[in-house]
């Protein structure tokens, strides 16, 4: 277990525009990568049964299934649809043996000005998902996103808030936290809130923040290309007892999604060994 690649997972969004799920499984395996995270649209394109078999045959550990949550809608019908969709995703995550279902908060409806209200709805609906997740043996990984995407993607924005939600839900191992360096690196409370999350961290996502970023979601940097001390954050996370994978997760419309995917995977392996 001393070879760094054994701790590396690649989130398949890193090769989103180049590879289908089957191509990603085979492509990562070709480079010696033994863990990955899977997205719902790609899984459904392939079919859950076929994907589960292929992942198993390739010896892939599935470190996460993306992306559940999005639970802030005010409209009751829309809210019900999202809860049903999340239940389906819990079942799919279980079918592929994922370690967790990643859960983001959801943004604000276009005419919604009540941020505390949206946060309260999201928390209530995570609570509604807990029994189904528990029955499926699936962990819901609350992932705070960077506050710059609060309106668009997630009213869950800080690790303090994720810890508070875990306290409020009191759901034991059914609810945990995903720490993503891209989303939390700026937080003055980072060290304290990671320490507080001891025993709750179920996923560790790594990406860098480019100082000249040109898109808040789709311009993530490869570890080593930006301003985040990823190794320092990894040490904080591992000091809590986390022994899981380091999942490289790069949304990159202007750069990595345009490159030869084999080159992308090669760079992931190198940078993980050097900068994570
Ligand atoms: Zn993430």
pLDDT at 108 over 80: yes
The secondary structure of 23-80 as a DSSP string is HHHHHHHHTT--EEEEEHHHHHHH-HHHHHHHHHHTT-EEEEEEEEE----SSHHHHH
CA angle 86-91-94, nearest 5°?
A: 125
- Give the integer Cα–Cα distance in Å for 35 and 245: 8
Q: Which fold has domain 5-275?
A: TIM Barrel (3.20.20)
The predicted-structure confidence for 119-128, as pLDDT tens digits, reads as follows 999 999 999 9
* Span from the CA of 73 to the centroid of ligand 1 (angstroms): 22
Per-domain boundaries in the chain:
5-275
Record the tokens describing residue 162, joined without a space.
Answer: 């994720």
> What's the gap in Å between 37 CA and the centre of ligand 1?
10
Which positions ≥6 away from 263 have C-beta within 8 Å?
none
Mean pLDDT of 161-184: 98
**What's the pLDDT band for 195 if we cut at 50, 70, 90?**
very high
Tens digit of each residue's pLDDT (9 = 90 or more) over 206-215: 999 999 999 9
Q: How far is the CA of 128 from the centre of ligand 1 (A)?
A: 23
* 79 CA → ligand 1 middle, Å: 23
**Mean pLDDT, rounded, of the chain:** 97
pLDDT-based confidence at 205, cuts 50/70/90?
very high
Phi-psi group of 36: left, alpha or beta (phi > 0 → left; psi -120 to 50 → alpha; rest → beta):
beta
If one counts every other C-beta atom within 10 angstroms of the C-beta of residue 13, the result is 23
Q: How confident is the model at residue 1 (pLDDT cuts 50, 70, 90)?
A: low
- pLDDT beyond 70 at 271: yes
Ligand 1: centre distance to CA 148 (Å):
15
Kindly report the pTM of this predicted structure: 0.98
Distance of CA 143 from the midpoint of ligand 1 (Å)? 7
Instruction: Give the Å distance between the CA of 180 and the centre of ligand 1.
Output: 5
pLDDT number for residue 2: 73
pLDDT in tens, 58-103: 999 999 999 999 999 999 999 999 999 999 999 999 999 999 999 9
Instruction: Report how far residue 274's alpha carbon sits from residue 207's, in angstroms, rounded to the nearest whole number.
Output: 13
Å from CA of 56 to ligand 1 middle: 23
Query: CA–CA separation, 144 vs 78, rounded Å?
Result: 22
What size, in residues, is the chain?
276
């Amino acid at each position: 277990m001393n070879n760094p690649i054994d701790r590396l997972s690649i989130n398949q969004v890193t090769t989103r525009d180049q590879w289908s799920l089957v191509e990603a499984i085979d492509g990562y395996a070709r480079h010696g990568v033994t863990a990955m995270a899977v997205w719902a649209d790609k899984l459904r394109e392939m079919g859950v049964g076929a994907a589960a078999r292929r992942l198993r045959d390739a010896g892939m550990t599935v470190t996460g299934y993306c992306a559940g949550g999005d639970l802030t809608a005010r409209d009751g019908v829309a809210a019900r649809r999202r809860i049903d969709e999340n239940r389906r995703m819990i079942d799919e995550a279980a079918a592929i043996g994922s370690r967790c279902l990643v859960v983001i908060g959801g943004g604000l409806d276009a005419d919604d000005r009540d941020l505390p209200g949206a946060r309260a709805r999201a928390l209530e609906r995570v609570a509604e998902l807990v029994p189904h997740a528990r029955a499926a043996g699936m962990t819901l990984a609350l992932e705070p996103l960077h506050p710059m995407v609060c309106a668009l993607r997630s009213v869950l924005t800080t690790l303090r808030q994720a810890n508070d939600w875990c306290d409020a839900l009191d759901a034991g191992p059914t609810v945990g936290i995903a720490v993503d360096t891209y989303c939390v690196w700026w937080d003055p409370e980072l060290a304290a809130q990671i320490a507080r999350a001891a025993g709750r961290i179920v996923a560790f996502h790594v990406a860098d923040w480019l100082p000249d970023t040109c898109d808040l979601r789709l311009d993530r940097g490869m570890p080593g290309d930006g301003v985040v001390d990823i190794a320092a954050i990894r040490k904080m996370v591992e000091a809590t007892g986390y022994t899981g994978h380091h999942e490289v997760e790069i949304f990159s419309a202007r750069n990595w999604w345009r490159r030869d995917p084999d080159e992308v995977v090669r760079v992931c392996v190198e940078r993980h060994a050097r900068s994570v």
